[in-house]
A and B are shown apart, each in its own frame.
Chain A
Amino acid sequence: MSILFQYILDAISVGSLYALAALGIGLIFGIMRLINFAHGEFIMVGGYSLLMLSSLWSPFMIIGSCFIVIILAIFAEKFAFKPIRTADPATMLVTSVALSFFIQNLFVMIVGARPKGINIFPRLMKHVSFAEYRIPGLHIVTIAVTCILLIILAFFLKRTNFGIQMRAAAEDFETARYLGVRANLVISVSFALSGLLAAIVAILSVAQTGTLSPRMGVQLVIIAFISTIIGGMGSLSGAVLGGFFVGILIVTLQVVLPEEIRAFWKAFVFGIIILVLLMRPQGLFRIGAKEERV
C-alpha cells in the first residue's frame, strides 16, 4: 500500500513537471503553429542563471532567473521567429531547432560540455513524515507549485481581457486579428509566459536532479513536444493533461516492466505513443476533429 502510494506520488510529480513544460510549448503552438524546440534551451538557461545568481537570497535568485529567461524568450521571438511567422511549419520547426543548437553550443563554448553539480534548496531534499508515509519534500513542492501555476494561468486565460484575446488568437489567429486583437502584443506576451514556465521547470528539475549541462533541456523538450501533440494540438488543457499522461506512463512502465526488459522501457513508451496517435490522431483530449473546412 505504502509503495503504491509512493509510485502514485512519483508519477504525479514527474507528470506535473512535464505538464508545465508541455504548457510552455502548447502556448506558443496554439498561437503561431510553431513547435518551439528552443524551449529546452530556455530551461537550460534558467538552470545556469540559478547557478550564476546562487549567492543571492533565494527569492531574489528565483525572480532573477525567471526574469532572465523571460527576456531571452522575448528576444528569441523578436529576432528569430518574427521574420518567419508566415513561413510553412517545417521551416518554423527547423528554425527553432537551429536556435536551440545555437544557444546550446554557445553554452558549450562558454561553460564547457561537462555537467556541473548544483545544490539549491537543500532543505527540499529532506523527507516529510506523514502518517506512516515518508514523502520527499520536493514532490510536494513540485505538485503544489504546478497546481498554483495552473490555477493562476487558468484565471488569467479565462477571466482577464488579455487572456481572452490570447485564447481567441489560439483558436483562429486570422479572425482574431480582424476583430482587433493585437498580434504582436499577444505573441510577445505568450513568449514571456512560456519563458516564465520554462524558468519554473528549470528550478524544479534542477532541484530534483542537482546537475546542470548544456544539453539538459533536450530530453525534457522532446517529452513536452510529444505531450502537446498527444494531448490535442492547440488545446492548452490538452497539453497539460498530455504532460500528466506521459509522466504517469513513464513511471508506470519503469515499475511494471519485468527486470530483463526494463532497459527497453523507452521503446514501450514510444510504442504506446504511436498507438495513441493512430487511434486518436487529433489528440487524446480534443473533442471534435479540427480538420480545416474547405
Chain B
Amino acid sequence: MSFRNFRSGTLYFFWPAISLSVILILISIIGILCSVTMQRFISDAFIKVIIVVGLYIFIGNSGIISFGHASFMTIAAYMSAWLTMPVAFKKLILPLLWPFFLNLQMNHYIGLIIAAIIASIFAFVVGIPLMRLSGLAASIATFALLSIVYTIYGNWDSKTYGQGTLVGLDIYVNLSLTLLIAIGAIIFAFIYQESRWGVALRASREDEVAAKACGISIVSQRIIAFVLSAFIVSIGGVLRGHFLGTLWINDYYLDLTFLSIAMLVVGGIHSLAGAVLGPLIISSLLELLRLLEVGMTFGSFSFRAPSGLRETGVAFVMLLILIFRPSGIMGGNEISWPFKSRS
C-alpha cells in the first residue's frame, strides 16, 4: 500500500487521526475524574463513535447510503452471545441452540473478534451482488438486507429468543476498552482513507465514469470498503450487547440505523472528523435532554419535561444543523495541523 502526502513527517501525516484520539482521551479523563455514571455515559458514546466511524468507511468514501449495517451488528452481537455466554445459562435459556455452541464458552475478546469476522464474511458474500448497484437502488437493496436479517432473527425463537429480550450476556465493556477500540477504529479508518483503495473509492464517488476510465474497478473497491466497514461496525454491535448485558432485536433495527446515519450526516459525511464528532455531539445532546426528562430541582422549584422531549429535541436540533450547514458540522474537513506547515 502506498500513501499519498507521506512527505512531511509521520506526526503531520497522522495528525487528523491523532487529534481525534487525543479528544477521546481527554473526554475519558474527564469521565474518570467525574463519576461512574459519567463513565458509563462516555462508554456508550464511544460505542456510537465506533459504529459511526465504521459506517463512515463505507458511506463517506463511496457516497452510497447504506441502511444495511445494522444487520451486521445483529449477526455479530448474537454470534458473540452464542459464543461467550456461560454454558449452564445457555442450556437454560436457549436449549435448542446447536450443540456446538451449547457446549462452548469462549474468552470474550476472542468471541468479539470471531463474531466480527463472521459478520464481515457475511458482508463479503452479500456485497458481491449488492455492490453492483449504485445510488438509491443500492440503498434500497441494503435496506432490504436489513429487513431480511431482522425478520429472520426476530422470528427465530429457538436460537435468538425471537421478539423477546435475550439476557445473561457478560457485561465486560468498560470505558478503557471502548476508548481503546474507538481509537483503533479511528486509526484504521484513517489508514484506509489515505490508502490507494480509499482514494480510488472516493474518486468513484465523485465521478463514476471518470473513475472507470482511470481503470478503477468500482465494484471491487466498494466491496473492500463494505467488508472493512462491516468489520468495525459489527465490533460496535457486539460491544453494545455486552455493555447492556441484554440483546433485543428491535434495538438493532430502524432506530439504530437512522440514528447512526443521522449522527454521521450531522458531523459531516465526507470526513473522519465528522464521523467522530457527530456521535459525540448528538450523544451529549441526548443525555442533556434525558436529564431534563428525568426532572430537575432548583431549590424549592422542581421541573420535569414531558416524555418524548428527548427525541423531539434531538430531531429538531438535527434539522437546524442540516438546514444551516447542509454539509455537516465539519463540512468535509479534517482537523488540520495547527502549526505553520513545514513544507
Residues of A within 8 A of B (CB): 35, 79-80, 83-84, 87-91, 93-95, 97-99, 101-102, 104-106, 108-109, 113, 218, 222, 225-226, 229-230, 233, 263-264, 266-267, 270-271, 273-274, 277-278, 281-282, 294
Contact = CB atoms under 8 A, between A and B. Distances in A.
Given A35-B136, A83-B323, A101 B311 contact: yes
Interface in B131-179: 132-137, 140-141, 143-145, 147-148, 151-152, 155
B96 interface: no
A108 B319 contact: no
A94 B152 contact: no
Interface in B99-151: 129-130, 132-137, 140-141, 143-145, 147-148, 151
Given A89-B136, A90-B65, A274-B144, A264 B323 contact: no
A98 B261 CA distance: 11
A93 B309 contact: no
Contacts of A218: 254
Given A270-B148, A281-B137, A105 B254 contact: no
Contact of B318 (A93, A98, A226, A278): A98
Interface centre among B65, B130, B262, B326 (most CB of A within 10 A): B326
Given A84-B326, A91-B322, A229 B311 contact: no
Interface string B47-63: 00000000000010001
* Interface majority SS (helix, strand, loop, mixed), chain A: helix
Contacts of B306: 109
Contact of A99 (B134, B136, B261, B319): B319
Given A88-B63, A89-B65, A266-B151, 14 more contacts: A83-B324, A83-B326, A87-B327, A91-B265, A98-B319, A99-B315, A105-B312, A109-B312, A226-B143, A230-B140, A233-B136, A271-B148, A277-B133, A278-B132
A7 B257 CA distance: 35
Contacts of A225: 140
B322 A281 contact: no
Contact of B147 (A35, A229, A266): A266
A102 B315 contact: yes
16 contacts: A80-B323, A89-B135, A94-B261, A94-B262, A97-B261, A97-B262, A102-B312, A105-B315, A226-B144, A229-B136, A230-B140, A274-B148, A277-B140, A278-B129, A278-B132, A278-B141
Contacts of A109: 306-309, 312
Interface in B300-343: 306-309, 311-312, 314-316, 318-319, 322-324, 326-327
A267 B140 contact: no
Contacts of B151: 264, 266-267, 270
Contact of A274 (B59, B145, B262, B326): B145
Contacts of B319: 80, 95, 98-99, 102
B189 interface: no
B81 interface: no
Contact of B322 (A95, A104, A263): A95
A14 B59 CA distance: 34
A89 B316 CA distance: 20
B140 A84 contact: no
B296 interface: no
A7 B63 CA distance: 42
Given A233-B136, A266-B147, A274-B145, A105 B311 contact: yes
A281 B63 CA distance: 17
B209 interface: yes
B150 to A, nearest CB: 8
B3 to A, nearest CB: 27
A89 B59 CA distance: 13
B269 interface: yes
B258 interface: yes
B308 A108 contact: yes
A35 B265 CA distance: 16
B63 A264 contact: no
Nearest to A218: B254
Contacts of A282: 137
A129 B147 CA distance: 39
A29 to B, nearest CB: 9
Interface string B253-264: 010001001100
A82 B257 CA distance: 25
A266 B258 CA distance: 20
A90 B144 contact: no
Given A102-B319, A267-B147, A267-B152, A274 B130 contact: yes
A264 B152 contact: yes
A68 to B, nearest CB: 20
B65 to A, nearest CB: 5
A278 B311 contact: no
A237 to B, nearest CB: 18
Contacts of A84: 322-323, 326
Contact of B141 (A99, A266, A274): A274
B63 A90 contact: yes
Contacts of A230: 140
A273 B136 contact: no
Nearest to A293: B209
B254 to A, nearest CB: 7
A294 B213 CA distance: 12
A106 B258 CA distance: 18
A83 B20 CA distance: 31
A67 B306 CA distance: 29
A270 B147 contact: yes
A291 to B, nearest CB: 9
A294 B209 CA distance: 8
Nearest to A84: B326
